[in-house]
Every structure is written in C-alpha cells, then in structure tokens.
Structure 1
Amino acid sequence: MALSFDGATIANINVGVGATVDVTLPEASGGVGANTYFLSPVLPGGLTFTEATRKLAGTTTGRFSLATFTYTATDTENTSVELTFTIVVTADAIAFVPADIANKVWTEEVAVSETLPRAMGGVGTITYSLSPTVLPAGVNLNLGTRRLSGLPSEAFEAMTFRWIATDGEGVTAFLEFSIRVNPVYSPKPVTVLPRSASRLEADLVDIYSQRQKNALLYEGDIPVRHLWNADTCPSEMLAYLECSMSVHGDAVDFSETQRRNFIKKSLEIHKKKGTIGSIKAVVEALGYRLATMNGIREGTDGHWANYRIVMESPLSIANANALEKLIEGTAPLRCNLTSFSSETVHPYDGTIQYDGMFTYGVITTQ
C-alpha cells in the first residue's frame, strides 16, 4: 500500500506574540516499515516539533514573518509524502497614547513641564528616544518618566523633533512635533538719541533695556533725558547715574531721597573739589547740618593735617562710614578726617537707641 496522508491537510497558523500553539500533525499510512516525520524550515521562537507525538506546540516569543513549512513523512525505503502549510506570528502595532503631540511654543524664562505620550503594543520592553537630542537651553528630557521640563534660558528657533518608541525586536514608531522658544517681550525704550549723544547716554539706554528685559523695571518707554534727571531717573538706574556723574564712594548706603539730592549737587561739589568748601558741600548735599570743622586749618588730635567734623544733626555709624568715603573723594589731599561729633545734638528722649547703629556722639573714622 502506497504511503499517503489519506487526504489530510494542515491548517495555516496565524497567531500573535505570546499565543499558545498546540497542534497534532497528521499521521501517514501505508508504506514500508515505520514512518519518520520531519518539519522544515526552522520554527518561530517558542515553538517546537516532537516527532514521536507529531506535536507542534509552544508559546510564541516574537514576531515571525509569513513562511511556508513542509511536513514530511518517510518510510524505511525512503519513500516520502509531504504536506505544506504556513505560519505567521504577528504583534500589535506600536501605538501612542495620546496619538499625537501638540507643537510646543514656550517663552524664555517661563518654566515648562510636559509628559510625552506612552507607547503600547509591540514586543517586549519599549524604550524611548528623541531625535534630534539637542533641546532648548535649560530644558531636559527624562526618558524614564517621558517628561520634558526646565526653564528655557534663551530663544530657540522652531525645530521639528521625533519622539521614537522601539520595542524589544527593534520595531519602531514615532510622532513628530516642533519646539520653539520665544524671547521675553521687552519693548525697546524710545530715545531718539541725537547725533551729539554721548557714549554714556547710549550705554545707559542699553543698560536700561537689559534691566527691563530681566523684569527689574516697569515696562514702557523712557526718554533718555529722564535717565539724566535725578528726579525722574528710575530707582534701579540711580547707581548708573551716580557713576556717570562721578559720585564715588558709598552713596548707595543712603536713602533714595539723599542719593537724588546728592546727584543734583554733584556738579557744584566737583567745582569745589580739593577745597575746604567741598567738604561742607558733601555733608549738606546729603541733608545733614554741619556746625564746624575743628582743626581744618590748624590741625587737631596731635597732627596739623587732622580735623574732625562737628554735626548739628545725629549721624548713624553706617552713614558716617559712607559719608567719610564720599568726603575722601573731594576733600583736600592734605586733610585727614579723624572723627564725626554730634554729642551736643543727641536727643536723650528714646528716639535714638544705642544698639550698635548709633554711638553716644563721637564716631572715629577708619
């Protein structure tokens, strides 16, 4: 009797990754002697064929492209018969949740925090990557949490990125989106500088613009003439105006009103620089009353160049130290200030506390 499968067939196998397969292949009849069975080519990962039981079984472990298999029965005289069938192992396509990413338009110096979509499906563990990898300055991506976060520190031209998911078999899927970082809006001060404007005027405008950009000043336009005016110059710009007017020392340690008054008097003080009159001008420009300068002509405290200032108004230790430095910048070089005295004007009514801010009336200079 001829060897045959007696009309039997094998159904094609189409399963997904992780599916269990348990199929008994047909038994051949006829032929000479005992029949042997063979299945080719190599099976998908996770599946095995056992000849003794003719079992094709196992659990699929990965994708397998459609392929045709040949099942062969052979008797002892090498007579054989064959059946063919196909096997394909598929996996769910990688899909993102949510299915898209909105384009990002951020603003410089404004914190951002966004989570990129999670991928599902595929085979095995999914890993993520972003291409290109260069993000705006100050922004970072945590691939483990899929979070974009940080504080954009500078403007960034719009650029397209790919958010890529790769499964355990190297199959990928991606979403595209763009990122742009807009600069902080900072209106340019309207100055209309004349051709005769000094370099200092231009520098002041640039400085003001930068300070305004950093949100240290109010928004709006400011004419350059206001920057040069001690009454209208913004508080944040006073230090620059003092520098431009050659107000050296520690004027910043005084109140804003005192500083503005001192700037107004700075030209008069410079005219008297190097004279005894400049000392009085400095003291009075800050709103203090000067009674006398002992020793300014004949010396005091054991040396002809030493002198001390007697005040008609109380003076704190901090203000005395700052006033000393302002006086040093304008007094005659031969003069050496030894102390301030305000003993005769100190009120003993509790308005001045001797807690380290004030002395009992004499402040020795450094």
Structure 2
Amino acid sequence: MSDRLLPPNATALERALEDTTARLDAVPAEVIRTLWDPWACPVDLLPWLAWACSVDEWDDTWPEATRRRVIADSYSVHAVKGTVGAVKRALASLGYDTTLIEWPEDDPPAEPYTFRIEVDVMGHAVTAGTYAEIERTARAAKNVRSHLTGIRAVGRVDAAVYAGAFVIGGTGGTVLPWTPPEITVSGRSYAGAAVSMVSTLTVHPAREGA
C-alpha cells in the first residue's frame, strides 16, 4: 500500500509539493506568525522574505542585521522609489550615509539629468565589490530619467585629538666692568685770601778804624 495520495503519473513538482505540505504539521505555529516579520523571521528564510518584499539588492553574505534591515526598509524605499530619498534610504539600509548631488547643484553644473553620490564608507572595506554594490543599489532606487555619473567613497575617522605645546623663553645680557658714575657736587662756594709779609734785617760787625 502506498503512503502517497498522488497517482503514479504525478510530476516531480507535484511530488515535491506533497512532500512539503506533509511537513506543515511539524512547523510550530509561533514560527508561522513570524514569517512576515523581518526582525523575527528565521534567518534561513530571509531570502524568501526578501523576494516577497521585492528587495532590489540582496547578498547572502551580508551580516544578518543588514539583511533584516534591508527587508524592513523595503516598503519605505518602494514608497518613494525614483526620488533622491529612495536612493538615500536604500543605501542607508546597507549602512551607508549618502550625499546625492544632482546636476544643477554641482560646481560647475553637470550635464542635465545626471547626478553623483558621495558615500561615507566608515566601517566598510572599500573594494571593487563595494563600489559595485553601491552602484547597483543606487540604480535600482533612482528614476529612469536620471543617470549616475560618479561614486565617491569618503572615509571618515573619529578619534580623540590631543594637542600639546610648551614655551621656552630667555634673555641675553652683557656684563661689563663696573664704572662709577660721574660725581657732581653742588653747594655754596666760599672764597678766602691771606697775606703774609716777612722783613729780613742783616747786621754786620763793625770794621776797625771806623
């Protein structure tokens, strides 16, 4: 007696569907309730949830948090798809902070209906794959008319800055031998004079016969 309800001429797809539905009873009900929740869905089922939510860019090698965030942001991206906000939101889901410069805002103005983007790649390895991922995501979210002309990856470093300074000062001098200053005496002036007179008397002896 066969344990299958399908006829012998059933196709491979029909048999696969039978095998799949036969296991539904083994799936816990609480898991079924989480299938459409990007933050609670079993990680193995995230690719199917991404497909169901029309996620434009998907990579199974992304960290789990990134995959869940991309699915969660899918609705908001599609709600404004074709706008500047859609491009920024799509790249923000991948962890990129993006600045979009449209052609009239460029310096000098670029070709009409073109734009370029500057992406903060802090925390990401900048490789050819990084640029390709950014380009695919931006092209999927932009409008049909606009053309992406350039991608600039901007690295930002956050760190404490320490500054120090010191000052050395001094004076020079020449030491010369000490020289007394000129002495000036002031006061009243007195003048005086004296006369001394001396008389000399010579006494000779008397001569004989005088």
TM, length-normalised to structure 1: 0.32
Aligned partner of residue 327 in structure 1, secondary structure: helix
Partner residue in 1 for 2:142: 331
User: Residues 190 and 296 (structure 1 numbering): CA distance in 2 closer, same or farther, change over 3 Å?
Assistant: farther
In structure 2, distance between residues paired with 1:322 and 1:343:
15
CA contact (8 A) 1:242 1:263 kept: yes
In structure 1, distance between residues paired with 2:130 and 2:69:
15
The share of aligned pairs that are identical, in percent, is 23
- Structure number with higher helix proportion: 2
Partner residue in 1 for 2:197: none
Unaligned runs of 5+ in 1: 1-153, 155-182, 192-219, 348-366
In structure 1, distance between residues paired with 2:141 and 2:60:
17
Are 2:129 and 1:293 equivalent residues in the alignment?
no
Aligned partner of residue 229 in structure 1, secondary structure: coil
User: Residues 296 and 226 (structure 1 numbering): CA distance in 2 closer, same or farther, change over 3 Å?
Assistant: farther
Q: Which amino acid in the other structure matches residue 295 of structure 1?
A: E
CA contact (8 A) 2:91 2:137 kept: no
In structure 2, distance between residues paired with 1:190 and 1:296:
57
Aligned partner of residue 232 in structure 1, secondary structure: coil
User: Residues 302 and 230 (structure 1 numbering): CA distance in 2 closer, same or farther, change over 3 Å?
Assistant: same
What's the CA shift string for 1:142-196, capped at 9, x where partnerless? xxxxxxxxxxxx9xxxxxxxxxxxxxxxxxxxxxxxxxxxx9xx853567xxxxx
CA-atom RMSD in angstroms: 3.2
Give the number of the structure with larger relative contact order, counting CA–CA contacts within 8 Å between residues 6 or more apart.
Answer: 2
Are 2:19 and 1:188 equivalent residues in the alignment?
no
Q: Which amino acid in the other structure matches residue 293 of structure 1?
A: L
Partner residue in 2 for 1:101: none
1:199-278 equivalences under 5 Å are: 223-278=31-86
Q: Which amino acid in the other structure matches residue 335 of structure 1?
A: S
CA contact (8 A) 2:102 2:115 kept: yes
Aligned residues between the structures: 136
CA contact (8 A) 1:190 1:221 kept: no
1:1-366 equivalences under 5 Å are: 187-189=23-25, 223-290=31-98, 292-295=99-102, 297-298=104-105, 303-314=111-122, 315=124, 316-317=126-127, 318-345=129-156
Q: Which amino acid in the other structure matches residue 323 of structure 1?
A: I
CA contact (8 A) 1:250 1:326 kept: no
List structure 1 segments (4+ residues) > 3 angstroms apart after TM superposition: 220-223, 250-253, 296-302
Larger Rg: 2
Aligned partner of residue 137 in structure 2, secondary structure: helix
- Structure number with higher strand proportion: 1
In structure 2, distance between residues paired with 1:189 and 1:319:
43
In structure 2, distance between residues paired with 1:339 and 1:312:
14
In structure 2, distance between residues paired with 1:346 and 1:339:
23
In structure 2, distance between residues paired with 1:190 and 1:222:
12
In structure 1, distance between residues paired with 2:109 and 2:48:
38
Unaligned runs of 5+ in 2: 1-14, 159-210
Q: Which amino acid in the other structure matches residue 24 of structure 2?
A: K
What's the CA shift string for 1:239-295, capped at 9, x where partnerless? 1110000002334353221110111111111111111110111111222222x2123
CA contact (8 A) 1:288 1:312 kept: yes
TM, length-normalised to structure 2: 0.53
User: Residues 320 and 257 (structure 1 numbering): CA distance in 2 closer, same or farther, change over 3 Å?
Assistant: farther
Q: Which amino acid in the other structure matches residue 337 of structure 1?
A: L
